Structure 1
């Protein structure tokens, strides 16, 4: 297990060498979300054909939202594809996991759902599950799957997510995960629960203080990050809820601003993300 100083030094050296290249690749006047055509400057890597079905694949959940945006847009595709591609690359570089260079988008009702032990869901503040999705997610989690929920701010957005998860698990309640839990220490030793703001919300004052939060539209206090969980009967985390933080922006924006990269990608977003995936894949 790395201490915080060694972690920062290791990540700065490993990730810093590609910072300039990533910055040039990601600052474009157009955006193509088809990663088979445009990987946004993120390199691919060879996969051993003997183990092509034994890879970790970053699977993003597509869902419907209130307000009519639906599956063609809306919160589910926030930060895509940059965060998914960058995070997959860093898992490949910084861990011993065998990682698929091609992340996917997945519906909860897809027949291949159970092929993917880790799911990522983003911006659930306007999320709405259909009844088939409720049943599919319940069975997925109870049969060993893991869902990470990320990037939403304030009380109103959390209440919407909690309402939808209550439909999935009517007999289980989310609880605040203490910092002592192994998910904060299983690879990188987190000294605090990390809070990552969107790149346009992060700031640093003249005296060196760092602003780590985003304002919520409902005016609620967002200065405290919350990491909540729903567990199974064996106390295994099935759903890990990252509230009042945006780890995905730390992955997506790593190549756009060096200060943001050093402060949020290196120190918070990648270490926490790697810890979460490691926990999910070993429990």
Structure 2
């Protein structure tokens, strides 16, 4: 694992002016190309320092082989990855790669990235024995894993069945609201539940009857270091992906919860 990035976040306020004006045309929903290449489709681009190409944060998404074969790993891609990278560049002094990456567990470059994102693991990750060993080694070497967007007890059980093989003899711990991860940059007053945008006008923030309470669980190492955060019964990635689709959704969920929480998680992971 490469050395962790030394980062200092110079914060701006969380008011609407910090994000600029809402632009409903910025991120239009569109068909994903089958090869998972992307165009920026309105997300600003920027240059990084050519002399220090590795001294940047790159958002890395894990491609896994879910048992259903539905490609759940690609949910919200590429919009969420592009938007979150842009907001990190805009709202902090962190040097950010404008181009997110997709990684497989058998990719030797995996260990060059200290932070990986896993989405929709509720149908299982399809981990082979060698995948379990690689993921365990990645985490033990200092890698941090951010898990997001799965709902209800059946999906939790599918995910847990896979991930307990990575953490034998350990159990995930529910993070209390007073844990620093909820306050390290932005001071969150609750553990947010962020719904997919299609639930916006339903009056509900949960997608299943057994998913009314958001859970933020974590795995820790023997010294108390947080190695994986699991965001269950919430959809942080949709808050990033859909920021330009609906102004109400942007102000209620993207601006208020999804970006502050994502920045908090990243900052905590990179500094602990």
TM-score by length of 1: 0.87
Task: Give the 3 Å change call, closer, same or farther, for CA 112–148 of structure 1 in structure 2.
Answer: same
**1:91-110 mapped onto 2 (5 Å cutoff):** 91-110=88-107
Aligned to 1:164: 162
Aligned to 1:207: none
Aligned to 2:219: 230
**8 A contact 1:57–1:102 mirrored in 2:** yes
Q: Give the CA RMSD over aligned residues.
A: 1.7
Are positions 1:271 and 2:268 aligned together? no
Task: Give the 3 Å change call, closer, same or farther, for CA 132–149 of structure 1 in structure 2.
Answer: same
Counterpart Cα distance in 1 of 2:150 and 2:32: 24
Any idea what the Cα deviations from partners look like across 1:236-272, whole Å, max 9, x if unmatched? Answer: 1111000000000000000000000000001100000
**Unmatched runs of 5 consecutive residues or more in structure 1:** 1-5, 205-209
**8 A contact 2:185–2:264 mirrored in 1:** yes
Counterpart Cα distance in 2 of 1:34 and 1:271: 31
**8 A contact 2:186–2:264 mirrored in 1:** yes
1:198 aligns with one of 186, 196, 199: 196
**What's the offset of the Cα at 1:29?**
5.6
Are positions 1:78 and 2:75 aligned together? yes
Counterpart Cα distance in 1 of 2:258 and 2:47: 26
**What's the offset of the Cα at 1:25?**
4.1
Aligned to 2:240: 251
**What's the offset of the Cα at 1:182?**
0.7
Higher relative helix content: 1
**What's the offset of the Cα at 1:80?**
0.1
**8 A contact 1:202–1:213 mirrored in 2:** no
Any idea what the Cα deviations from partners look like across 1:31-84, whole Å, max 9, x if unmatched? Answer: 4477865112111101011221111110000001112x2xxx521000000000
- Stretch deviating more after TM superposition (39-48 or 253-262): 39-48
Aligned to 1:62: 63
2:109 aligns with one of 100, 109, 112: 112
Please state whether the residue corresponding to 1:149 is helix, strand or coil.
Answer: strand
Task: Give the 3 Å change call, closer, same or farther, for CA 34–256 of structure 1 in structure 2.
Answer: farther
**What's the offset of the Cα at 1:108?**
1.4
**8 A contact 1:108–1:133 mirrored in 2:** yes
Task: Give the 3 Å change call, closer, same or farther, for CA 56–156 of structure 1 in structure 2.
Answer: same
TM-score by length of 2: 0.91
**What's the offset of the Cα at 1:178?**
0.8
Counterpart Cα distance in 2 of 1:89 and 1:103: 10
Aligned to 2:139: 141
**8 A contact 1:33–1:80 mirrored in 2:** no
**8 A contact 2:148–2:230 mirrored in 1:** yes
**1:204-215 mapped onto 2 (5 Å cutoff):** 211-215=204-208
Please state whether the residue corresponding to 1:221 is helix, strand or coil.
Answer: coil
**Unmatched runs of 5 consecutive residues or more in structure 2:** 1-11
Are positions 1:280 and 2:269 aligned together? yes
Any idea what the Cα deviations from partners look like across 1:223-246, whole Å, max 9, x if unmatched? Answer: 110000000111111110000000
Task: Give the 3 Å change call, closer, same or farther, for CA 103–143 of structure 1 in structure 2.
Answer: same
Aligned to 1:39: 40
Counterpart Cα distance in 2 of 1:58 and 1:37: 14
